[in-house]
Amino acid sequence: MKDTKTSAAGPSLSRRSFIVGTTAAAGGLALGVRVPFGSGSAQAQGSTGAEVGAWVVVKPDDTCVIRIARSEMGQGTLTGLAQLVAEELECDWSKVSTESITPGQNLARKRVWGEMSTGGSRGIRTSQDYVRRGGAAARIMLLQAAAEEWKVPVAEVGVAGGVITHAGSGRKTTYGKVAEAASRLTPPDPKSIALKDPKDWKIAGKPMKRLDTADKLDGSKVYAIDLKLPGMLHAAIKASPVFGGKLTSYDEAKIAGRPGVRGVVKVNDSTVAVVADTWWRAKSALEALPIVWNEGPDAAQSSATIAGHLEAGLAAKDAYAFRKDGDAIGAIQGAAKKIEAVYSTPFLAHATMEPMNCTVKLSADRAECWVPTQNSEASLAALSEQSGIPLAKCEVYRHDLGGGFGRRGGNQDYVRQAVNIAKHFPDVPVKMVWSREEDMGHDFYRPISQCKLAAGLDDKGALVGLHVRISGQSINAFVNPAMVANGEDARQLQGYTDKPGDAQLGYTVPNLLIEYAMRNTHVPVGPWRGVNTNQNAVYMECFLEEVARAAGADSLAFRRALMSKHPKHLAVLDAAAAKGDWGKPLPAGVHRGIAQFMGYGSYSAAVAEVSVSGEGKVKVHRMVLALDCGHAVNPDQIAAQVEGSVAYGLSAAFYGECTVQNGRMAELNFDRYQLLRLAEMPKVETVIVPTHDFWGGVGEPTISVVTPAVLNAVLAATGKPVRSLPLKNVKLV
Amino acid sequence: MAKLNINGQVRDVQVEADTPLLWVIREQVGLTGTKYGCGVAQCGACSVHLNGQVVRSCILPVGSVKATDKIVTIEGLSANRSHPVQKAWAALDVPQCGYCQSGQIMAAAALLARKPRPTDRDIDDAMTNICRCGTYQRIRAAVHQAAGKQA
């Protein structure tokens, strides 16, 4: 088995250099570059009215259209960003609407709207400063325009809810009336703008309703998979079931004459597509198409061979020592009591509800693409590179995503495929849609890993040493092997760093050794909601639970004793424990578990109430989750993300695994890859404990604590630790 | 050739008889609110009403649907999102990505038509559609709220 991975599906150097190049150009907010919008945008084109700075368009009827650069995939970022802009703009929230900008527009205007990539729970935290300044700049320009019209000093002019007043003269106007004049003013230097103290927020920080709900209720929202364009053709696609396998041949004659079929396309050296007048006809014909694959040597791989490969990493002499505080091995050897365990977590698929899809139309000198993407700029780069058409003549129309969870970010595999298909049908839009089976069989899976842990307790039950050795696959090695050629991949140790700010371990252990043995496989891997905090929180928090029990200590008290130097972690743990009634009586048969972890700049903790039936069936009754994300932009949407993270986390805990048989994935649809359903959803209570002194993420942080809190409650119920996921494979009684 | 009564309109469609109703609704009729999620009747994103019963249209061959059968899709559930389920969904901000919500709403509407005051257990049994964003808690609350507001 290979220890490093190169993949044709990975991003190429030219895409990376585009991203790096554009990032370098992203420096401050360039207000006042009033270049007319390009002709490509279906969404932005609809706005009439005056652009007051790059972020705000004000219409004559006082509607404020706020521009959104990041992707909306359910996580609520669109509404949160609009709240931040509107707060500084001082407009009437009931007159706010939004429009998405396109990557082509962003590029044409020297990235005036900054980064468009939406992942890593960064949508708000890495853009909040410049979008607030964008809103404030627009307010300043609008007030200046009114002051100039009235010939009064701007300092005498006030605004509330988009209504501008001059107290001295009693004059009054609205944003819509002065927008045209404001749009001609020179914008203020963003650095000169004083932003509001969040304590004074009236729109941000409040549980505003989402702005994007209505068309999700009547079927009128057009996801990319729903797109209809004149003359459009439809493509169904099949890639080699074995990762790394190649297409040998296919027998097109066998599907000749099938209704609606327009052609069979070799998409790349491992993929074939059928194009037809409808998708169902394309898919039916594809299923009837005889295909011969050269599956290659990796057809011999299985979950068992991969497990063996990882197991060897647990004992390997060489590993990357990520943290080495004191002498953990010596301390454990000399300890009064030793505890050891080996944990493992499987590959997981994202299973977004909307399968991968992309529509591409190629003309001689124009490339267009309609796509659900977490990174519109990466889609644009992939479109240009794959089509050979210069970036300036390419455009991407991002549709809101039917789920993202990390699947539709950097890897633009489906965009590249769709371009290759569209090349065969010039001037015709071709919509490629993956079947669920294709989606499940060709994901970038959550990486598989195993973890061996050892701890030592002194005679008073205090933790004196902890040794953590993770062996498993590296996402960075899949994306760019050169980046981690020496095996030193800190990303796989997410949540264990001693550095404050992003994903810091909340415990102080006198002797601590954390190691990583990179063991890559032929399976493509990528970020999956919460990424490596998921596995690493299970390893740390479930093992610490075992250690606490060995020490005869209460789970909460044992953790608290290690957390005095981590007050924010501790405060969140305490908040979860308090709201979760830690230590209070429970109904017979119900047990509690607790866990805490940090990721994406935010602190999370959970308490789970769980029962295990006589047949070993686990039921989660209630979960309390506490989150400190610094500033809380929309408490109700934060609660929605926390609730969602519980469902996503429990799906993985109970059922989630993608197993490898004969080099390919065995679970290809929801009959075998079960997901949590409503009946299994526990009551979720969200406690937001914002400290208002930093900007943390929201979409991902809390998922990490869901599984360990549940598994720790199962341990409390059964006395037996669960060390291997998912639960469906574990015999509890 | 098949005749279908969808949202009160009779439509003639030219399509192979084994085509699932889902794809006829989406591709021939052009109503895209009904979604493809799995194709094997697991997720319920394709839920529509057939003579008042909720069915998973992704496995229902169009040839088995009679011209007299009444099909209702999410587009035909109400005018202006006025069904109590849609109102409750809006009031509680149920949707996240929204992709599964057409199916969830159709399942909830069928449940309330059958059981105007469902218990939690009724909701557990009837609401088996998959939501990957995890909106289940709000779906349950919204079904109860819609039940409370039904005439």
Q: Say if residue B31 is in the same domain as residue B71.
A: yes
Q: Tell which residue, A261, A290, A282, has the closest CA to residue A431.
A: A282
Whether A202 shows a pLDDT value over 50: the answer reads yes
Q: Say if residue A361 is in the same domain as residue A342.
A: no
pLDDT at res. A11: 33
Query: Among A17-21, A510-514, A573-577, whose mean pLDDT is lowest?
Result: A17-21
- Cβ atoms of B41 and B58 within 8 Å: the answer is yes
| Mean pLDDT to the nearest integer, A30-51 | 45
What is the per-residue pLDDT across A506-562, written as a single tens digit (0 to 9) for each? 999 999 999 999 999 999 999 999 999 999 999 999 999 999 999 999 999 999 999
Of B76, B96, B115, which residue sits at a domain end? B76
> Cis peptide leading into A500, omega within 30 of 0?
no
Using a CB-CB cut-off of 8 Å, the residues of chain A touching B136 are: 643, 647, 676-678, 681
| Mean pLDDT to the nearest integer, B108-136 | 98
Q: Say if residue A169 is in the same domain as residue A113.
A: yes
| Mean pLDDT to the nearest integer, B51-55 | 98
Of B18, B48, B76, which residue sits at a domain end? B76
What is the per-residue pLDDT across A352-361, written as a single tens digit (0 to 9) for each? 999 999 999 9
What is the per-residue pLDDT across A547-568, written as a single tens digit (0 to 9) for each? 999 999 999 999 999 999 999 9
Q: Say if residue B69 is in the same domain as residue B89.
A: no
Q: Tell which residue, A609, A731, A729, A608, has the closest CA to residue A345.
A: A729
Interacting residues of A472 by C-beta distance below 8 A, sequence separation 6+: A310, A313, A447, A448, A449, A450, A451, A492, A517, A518, A519, A535
Using a CB-CB cut-off of 8 Å, the residues of chain B touching A208 are: none
- Using left for φ > 0, alpha for ψ between -120 and 50, and beta otherwise, residue A670 falls in alpha
Q: Say if residue A284 is in the same domain as residue A311.
A: no
Query: Is residue A17, in this structure, part of any structural domain at all?
Result: no
Select the more confidently predicted residue: A13 or A320: A320
Q: Say if residue B90 is in the same domain as residue B50.
A: no
Q: Give the separation between CA A236 and CA A250, rounded to whole angstroms.
A: 15
pLDDT at res. A546: 98
The parent domain of residue B101 ranges over: 84-149
Q: A422 to chain B, minimum CA–CA distance in Å?
A: 20
DSSP annotation of A212 reads S
Query: Is residue A466, in this structure, part of any structural domain at all?
Result: yes
Per-residue pLDDT band for B150 (boundaries 50, 70, 90) equals low
Amino acid present at A245 = G
Does the beta-carbon distance from B137 to A684 stay under 8 Å?
yes
pLDDT at res. B76: 98
Whether A466 shows a pLDDT value over 60: the answer reads yes
Query: Among A4-8, A246-250, A568-572, A628-632, whose mean pLDDT is lowest?
Result: A4-8
Instruction: Indicate which CATH number applies to the domain containing B104.
Output: 1.10.150.120
Whether A363 shows a pLDDT value over 90: the answer reads yes
Per-residue pLDDT band for A48 (boundaries 50, 70, 90) equals confident
What is the per-residue pLDDT across A268-308, written as a single tens digit (0 to 9) for each? 999 999 999 999 999 999 999 999 999 999 999 999 999 99
Q: Say if residue A631 is in the same domain as residue A699.
A: yes
Q: Say if residue A558 is in the same domain as residue A658.
A: yes
Q: Say if residue B88 is in the same domain as residue B66.
A: no
Does the beta-carbon distance from B42 to A679 stay under 8 Å?
no
Q: Say if residue B71 is in the same domain as residue B104.
A: no
Per-residue pLDDT band for A47 (boundaries 50, 70, 90) equals low
Q: Say if residue B94 is in the same domain as residue B36.
A: no
Q: Say if residue B63 is in the same domain as residue B92.
A: no
Whether A467 shows a pLDDT value over 60: the answer reads yes
pLDDT at res. A44: 40
Of A182, A208, A234, which residue sits at a domain end? A208
Of A433, A454, A478, which residue sits at a domain end? A433
In chain B, % of residues over pLDDT 90: 96
Q: Say if residue B48 is in the same domain as residue B65.
A: yes
Q: Total structural domains in chain A?
A: 3
Q: Say if residue B52 is in the same domain as residue B101.
A: no
The parent domain of residue A426 ranges over: 224-296+356-433
Query: Is residue A545, in this structure, part of any structural domain at all?
Result: yes
Whether A13 shows a pLDDT value over 70: the answer reads no
Q: Give the separation between CA B10 and CA B17, rounded to whole angstroms.
A: 17
Whether A111 shows a pLDDT value over 90: the answer reads yes
Using a CB-CB cut-off of 8 Å, the residues of chain B touching A228 are: 30, 32
| Mean pLDDT to the nearest integer, B67-74 | 98
Q: Say if residue A280 is in the same domain as residue A315.
A: no
Using a CB-CB cut-off of 8 Å, the residues of chain A touching B139 are: 678
Contacts 24+ apart (CB under 8 A), A149-153: A149/A173, A149/A178, A149/A181
pLDDT at res. A455: 98
Does the beta-carbon distance from A74 to B89 stay under 8 Å?
no
Q: Say if residue A394 is in the same domain as residue A489.
A: no
Per-residue pLDDT band for A45 (boundaries 50, 70, 90) equals very low
Of A217, A221, A679, the CB nearest to B86: A217
Angle at A725 between CA A723 and CA A729, to 5 degrees: 105
| Mean pLDDT to the nearest integer, A416-437 | 98
Q: Say if residue A638 is in the same domain as residue A606.
A: yes
Q: Say if residue A260 is in the same domain as residue A333.
A: no
Backbone φ and ψ for A624, nearest 5 degrees, come out as -110, 125
Does the beta-carbon distance from B97 to A400 stay under 8 Å?
yes
Instruction: Indicate which CATH number applies to the domain containing B18.
Output: 3.10.20.30
Q: Which residues of A146-178 are buried (b: 16+ CB within 10 A; e: fewer)?
A: bbeebeeeeeebebeebebbbeeeeeebbbbbb
Q: Say if residue A393 is in the same domain as residue A316.
A: no
Mean pLDDT (chain A) is: 93
Does the beta-carbon distance from A670 to B38 stay under 8 Å?
yes
Q: Say if residue B8 is in the same domain as residue B54.
A: yes
pLDDT at res. A40: 34
Per-residue pLDDT band for A4 (boundaries 50, 70, 90) equals very low
Q: Say if residue B121 is in the same domain as residue B64.
A: no
Q: Say if residue B38 is in the same domain as residue B7.
A: yes
ipTM of the complex: 0.98
pLDDT at res. A8: 34
Does the beta-carbon distance from A669 to B39 stay under 8 Å?
yes
Of B52, B76, B100, which residue sits at a domain end? B76
Q: Say if residue A564 is in the same domain as residue A636.
A: yes
Using a CB-CB cut-off of 8 Å, the residues of chain B touching A353 are: 35, 37, 43, 45, 97, 99-100, 130-133
In chain A, % of residues over pLDDT 70: 94
Whether A674 shows a pLDDT value over 80: the answer reads yes
Using a CB-CB cut-off of 8 Å, the residues of chain B touching A642 are: none
What is the per-residue pLDDT across B8-48, written as a single tens digit (0 to 9) for each? 999 999 999 999 999 999 999 999 999 999 999 999 999 99
Per-residue pLDDT band for A267 (boundaries 50, 70, 90) equals very high
Instruction: Indicate which CATH number applies to the domain containing A599.
Output: 3.30.365.10
Task: Pick from B96, B102, B119, B125 the residue to mutate for testing the A interface (most A CBs within 10 Å).
Answer: B96
Q: Say if residue A281 is in the same domain as residue A424.
A: yes
Query: Is residue A9, in this structure, part of any structural domain at all?
Result: no
Per-residue pLDDT band for A16 (boundaries 50, 70, 90) equals very low
pLDDT at res. A96: 98
Q: Total structural domains in chain B?
A: 2
What is the per-residue pLDDT across A609-654, written as a single tens digit (0 to 9) for each? 999 999 999 999 999 999 999 999 999 999 999 999 999 999 999 9
Q: Tell which residue, A72, A436, A433, A620, has the closest CA to residue B130.
A: A436
Per-residue pLDDT band for B1 (boundaries 50, 70, 90) equals confident
